[in-house]
Structure 1
């Protein structure tokens, strides 16, 4: 998606938001969350370090009891409320990870919470949220995106006089997330040259800017968004916090239409770079981390690893930290993850194949059209007429992207070729 094709500029300019996270407040937040969040490991990745010729360290935020860093901001914010506010109860909107942090905090503190989640939230995240919240939390599924759920949550808050616990655009939330950076600085005694962080609403990135500006100003912080939801990248280009009209919701933990106003003001002035990564590449990274490192991450948790090859020359010989932000991945998504990875690598291709209406046509296709390493992974055929040729939708997995054009030429020369679907997104989504 071209970000400039889906913009609705709105929001505040930089001069309107003076807030910047202070190290004293972040240290205070660290004391607050210590009762529910243990210090997560900062470990060296032998595979990635060897691959990039750098010292690649992974900050394992996926190892929290709620499997993401979001517990930090949620607990810090809720703990800061007055007794009256706690008695009235809290409300949040989340694609899953913040919801679990809020649910855990509500149960731990004995207060009532209402959690609004998009209807497309993976089932695993919904079940985990209910488990952590128990009888203290009610879950409401609303809309198709985080932004839809957020609008509904804010309306509910106003109607019932409850406190909204924002997942990223609140000073107390930002200061709680910032404790990730405080731990990194304390754990790594050598200078950190580069720090990669996933950006959804921008709360974690904003908190890191506060920590590293105070304690390690030479560290270059690089934010990473999914290509299908480039809210921060777009806003930086526009010079104003900008809402996207549509997004790809696959990287659910980092797919927002609009970043926080506080986050935009902080990140636009303090990030070294802000980039996007294709969803298909994120999927391949998820598979690599699982197969090669026995690490389970959700799509947002893989963003910082997926982008490393773009900075391969720059980070060579450097000390690099990648934050693995979460591991709330539903195993039922694995087929889609593999599919997206193959499509991105140009190894999976879909065609409309016109089979002649005669015996042996399929056998000829397998024997004469497919290459020795090609594999049919999808076949959908329905004869609805007496025409000479009947179409079928065929998915073929190749061993190499270079095998595509020879395959198409063989189909055309033998009269089987109907159409190529990969480069026709509307038709592809409708048929496959």
Structure 2
């Protein structure tokens, strides 16, 4: 069993009851803290289980993998521990923090190569390298030994929990964690409802299960980088198809809100993929009342430079940040009138971009307004209209929004 093989390398991470979440949802909510692993994610479990099982001949050839960050760290750390050379392909969009961590864990044993904009592009490059050089390809999820290794986190949950677990929420990227832990739970705790959670911008497992076959997404939102894949594994799909009771696709903005709440309320740092399982609780609010619930916190490799983007996405989702193109009369005092007559007492201008055109009666200004309460939005719009300020709301215009903001 992989559990024996990993005992000396992998941390037995705590299963902690979270008071804030338990009170919010009137349930007993526990967090499986895989963010506390040495590589700050569960990925070390599968990576070390796979690499440590290679033959002497395979070890001499070395290993190659593709990853958006966490699997790469697991592979790098395993290579360093086992004295095996490795080559790691990562998307060019990978946060710098994750790239730095991979190099730190792998030391002189690994080479990091940035290629493509998505995990899938990096994976293609890694596969080509494996075919050309003979290096052993270490898949991040679609491999029996990888799945077996990830399953050990489920073993720990059931060892640490006294009583029955009613709901288990698991993040899904390629499906390795959900397949491994889900399969183990179905054998040992068949009464537990297993809920997979994906980002709404990359619901590859949800789409595949709905269609009854592995389906490749043409485009994805790469924000939840640890779980944004265009195509799940063939093996993980077959397992998840059997063991998952439901899959929830959660909006990226809602994930950002969860990240900020965990940091502000519990001093827990999570990456976007690490917040998926907790984010899904809001969509199961009624079902989990009075129940024992476990959420897998899968990783904490978050780049601090993303904080402002996380806050922005959260506020947009929560209805607290709004952008307009406002046509200002080109006269002295027009901005003062806007501030005095349009803005509410708790409204704040966070962006203002205006260039006066002297030969026109009106000039457009790009304005960002932050509200204290989302219910103040209608009043803001009504005051603009009542005071003669012509405005185009661009939050719901992705073509303009992505170009201007």
Same fold (TM over 0.5): yes
- Structure 2 Cα separation of the partners of residues 268 and 90 of structure 1: 30
Matches within 5 A, 1:317-332: 317-332=290-305
Match in the other structure for 1:133: 106
CA contact (8 A) 1:353 1:393 kept: yes
- Structure 1 Cα separation of the partners of residues 256 and 182 of structure 2: 28
Cα root mean square deviation, aligned: 1.0
Matches within 5 A, 1:192-211: 192-211=165-184
Match in the other structure for 2:36: 63
- Structure 2 Cα separation of the partners of residues 366 and 424 of structure 1: 25
Per-residue CA distance 1:177-205 (angstroms, 9 max, x = gap): 00000111111121111110000000000
- Structure 2 Cα separation of the partners of residues 170 and 385 of structure 1: 66
CA contact (8 A) 1:376 1:397 kept: yes
Unaligned stretches of 5+ residues in structure 1 = 1-27
- The reply on whether 1:289 has 2:257 as its aligned counterpart is no
Match in the other structure for 1:22: none
CA contact (8 A) 2:330 2:358 kept: no
Aligned with residue 424 of structure 1, among 379, 397, 400: 397
Match in the other structure for 1:74: 47
- SS at 2:87 equivalent: strand
- Structure 2 Cα separation of the partners of residues 275 and 205 of structure 1: 13
Measure how far apart 1:385 and its partner are.
5.7
Measure how far apart 1:417 and its partner are.
2.1
Per-residue CA distance 1:32-73 (angstroms, 9 max, x = gap): 112211100001111111111211111000000100000000
- Structure 1 Cα separation of the partners of residues 174 and 389 of structure 2: 48
Aligned with residue 370 of structure 2, among 367, 386, 397: 397
- SS at 2:258 equivalent: helix
Per-residue CA distance 1:142-162 (angstroms, 9 max, x = gap): 111111110111011111111
Aligned with residue 243 of structure 1, among 212, 216, 237: 216
CA contact (8 A) 2:44 2:75 kept: yes
- The reply on whether 1:94 has 2:67 as its aligned counterpart is yes
Unaligned stretches of 5+ residues in structure 2 = none
- SS at 1:244 equivalent: coil
- The reply on whether 1:407 has 2:380 as its aligned counterpart is yes
Match in the other structure for 1:85: 58
- SS at 2:345 equivalent: coil
Q: Which moved more, 1:339-348 or 1:394-403?
A: 394-403
- The reply on whether 1:159 has 2:128 as its aligned counterpart is no
Measure how far apart 1:384 and its partner are.
5.0
Measure how far apart 1:415 and its partner are.
2.7
Matches within 5 A, 1:230-379: 230-379=203-352
Measure how far apart 1:243 and its partner are.
0.3
CA contact (8 A) 1:354 1:415 kept: no
- The reply on whether 1:172 has 2:145 as its aligned counterpart is yes
**TM-score, with length taken from structure 1:** 0.92
CA contact (8 A) 2:92 2:115 kept: yes
Measure how far apart 1:424 and its partner are.
0.3
Measure how far apart 1:414 and its partner are.
2.4
Aligned with residue 150 of structure 1, among 111, 123, 130: 123
- SS at 1:242 equivalent: coil
CA contact (8 A) 1:408 1:417 kept: no
Decide whether aligned partners of structure 1 residues 364 and 203 sit closer, same or farther in structure 2, where only a CA change above 3 A counts: same
- SS at 1:296 equivalent: coil
Aligned with residue 38 of structure 1, among 7, 11, 25: 11
Measure how far apart 1:220 and its partner are.
1.1
Match in the other structure for 1:124: 97
Match in the other structure for 1:189: 162
Decide whether aligned partners of structure 1 residues 140 and 384 sit closer, same or farther in structure 2, where only a CA change above 3 A counts: farther
